[in-house]
Structure 1
Amino acid sequence: MRRLWWSLRKRVAGLGRRPRVVARLGAQWELDPRDWLDRRMLAGQPFEAAQRARFAERVEAAGADLLFDIGANFGLYSVTLGLARSAMRIEAFEPVARTRAKLVRNLGLNGLEGRARVHALALSDRGGEAEIAIDPRSSGLSTLSASDAEAARRDFSASETVRVARLDDLDCARGVEARVLAIKIDVEGHETATLAGMAGLLARNRGVAMIETRARNLDAVIAAMASAGWRPTGEIEEERFFEKA
């Protein structure tokens, strides 16, 4: 019955095609009823509630004051953590133009534009350009690393040429050793390349991290974090948590 209840709520939330602004999770959000993830928020259905609570608790305990939100989407983590921690600076990365525009608006709706920078980049282990596969039904599925199995399940009928960069090559990753980092990575299977491009940042800095990890990449992700001194501290579904003191 509960699944049916949420299904009906999402159907109602999906009526109409215009984005609308709603209050959820103590913040203001512009949400698009045509998008699967946005419809969940519009319907008030919990999304990654346990993961968000765990990450927020560890961010608070560590005293993190610089968030790298890699794969920021519409700003779920940038906005909620930014509002919870008034001293936090935010570096948000979202390569897909339409999704990034919504991220910018959501930061502005919550008065965070002065503490946040939005980067029109996908992070990887190289610089240049790449084609990102986009499922028009869900902004949360955009990926540079679609496996054959995922491509068979998804509607990757759209794509976009995006800029890619190594985080270690960017100014925002330099000179931050005095800060405590919060790192959230949700890059739909591209996590090993993303970590390879930020190995220097991970080695030089401390903090907390939450990485959505595909099973095929799990061993490589744990090894990459361990080589930079980050220890695993738990998992919730596909999210793996790490800390470095």
Structure 2
Amino acid sequence: MASLAAFWRYGVVKTARKLKAAALSPLMAARGDDAVRSAYGVLMVPNWQDTTFRYCIFGTYGRDLADLLLGQREDFVFVDIGANQGLYSLIAAQNPRCRKIIAFEPVPTTHARLAANVALNGGAARTALHLLAIADSAGEVTINVAPDHTGTATLAGREGASGSGGVTIETIDAPLLDPLLAGDLPMFVKIDVEGLEAVVIAELAKTPSFARVSAIFYEVDDRWASAGEIEALLRAAGFTRFAKYGRGHHYDVLASRS
């Protein structure tokens, strides 16, 4: 029964949302609106040529992480690693218990849209935006970016990665990351970095601030990431509960402490 429910939720419903996005996006783009309200209730600056934007508008990503963020009942900080245009930062800001948002998006054009979306929704006062990527060393690197699907930008160097490349970004490692996470509230972390999740988690785990991380929602694609490796890394750091969201080779996991 559970597998049937997963097939319906993550197969049939998600596919229907993708088809809806493809069919209606040209019509909505032709209207020329200055801002578009997404299926998640937040406003976004139009970017219709981008698949990631269209998925945000039509709710293709589902409600799993959105509901987790809106359901937090104690004060927390949301750390959005791989924020893209800011969908989940904007959703977290809807929860008054979210006292601060720390968002990392290293691609300059995408970061500019992130900043515009935060301003559009009135969340700038409690949102810290960083034009940075988290990696195992600090410096400058070139990232693959697909203009028509910004959500596939990756530093992982995986086979078949899409994008034109040629975009130079800045990376930071644990010593530079820790001061950006300073505070005393628990942190809910989202990581969506297209195959570099294990590296990001390893760097987070090196910071003193990591002790305040109560939950991590991270993406896994079995074609280029090892779910077992990531889980072992988190168990060694004190995480004991792992809940899977999705089906097939591409899914999400919520890791939390006891």
Shorter chain as denominator, the TM-score bin is 0.7 to 0.9
| Per-residue deviation, residues 19-57 of structure 1 (Å, max 9, x unmatched) | 841122222211211111212344xx2222232245326
Letter in 2 for 1:212: E
| Per-residue deviation, residues 199-238 of structure 1 (Å, max 9, x unmatched) | 1347522412100122232111111111110123311121
Instruction: Please give the alpha-carbon distance, in whole angstroms, between the structure 2 residues aligned to 1:145 and 1:9.
Output: 33
Question: Structure 1 residues 86, 106: CA separation in 2 closer, same or farther (over 3 Å shift)?
Answer: farther
Question: Structure 1 residues 95, 54: CA separation in 2 closer, same or farther (over 3 Å shift)?
Answer: same
RMSD of aligned alpha carbons = 2.3
Instruction: Please give the alpha-carbon distance, in whole angstroms, between the structure 2 residues aligned to 1:181 and 1:76.
Output: 18
Structure 1: where are the runs of 5+ without partners? none
| Per-residue deviation, residues 66-106 of structure 1 (Å, max 9, x unmatched) | 11100001110101111223542011000000000000011
Q: Give the C-alpha shift of residue 159 in structure 1.
A: 2.8
> Corresponding residue for 2:35?
21
Pair 1:105-2:116 in alignment: yes
Q: How does 1:73-92 map to 2 (within 5 A)?
A: 73-92=84-103
| Per-residue deviation, residues 114-173 of structure 1 (Å, max 9, x unmatched) | 10111010111111111110111111010001311x33xx3x223311110124433122
Pair 1:173-2:181 in alignment: yes
On the 8 A contact 2:142/2:165 being kept in 1, the answer is no
Instruction: Please give the alpha-carbon distance, in whole angstroms, between the structure 1 residues aligned to 2:126 and 2:24.
Output: 34
Letter in 1 for 2:151: G
Higher RCO (CA-CA < 8 Å; seq separation 6+)? 1
SS at match of 2:37: strand
> Corresponding residue for 2:72?
60
> Corresponding residue for 2:188?
182
Instruction: Please give the alpha-carbon distance, in whole angstroms, between the structure 2 residues aligned to 1:119 and 1:172.
Output: 9
Structure 2: where are the runs of 5+ without partners? 1-14
Question: Structure 1 residues 19, 121: CA separation in 2 closer, same or farther (over 3 Å shift)?
Answer: farther
Aligned partner of 1:9 among 24, 42, 56: 24
On the 8 A contact 2:82/2:105 being kept in 1, the answer is yes
Aligned length: 234
Normalised by the length of structure 1, the TM-score is: 0.86
Instruction: Please give the alpha-carbon distance, in whole angstroms, between the structure 1 residues aligned to 2:45 and 2:230.
Output: 33
On the 8 A contact 1:64/1:182 being kept in 2, the answer is no
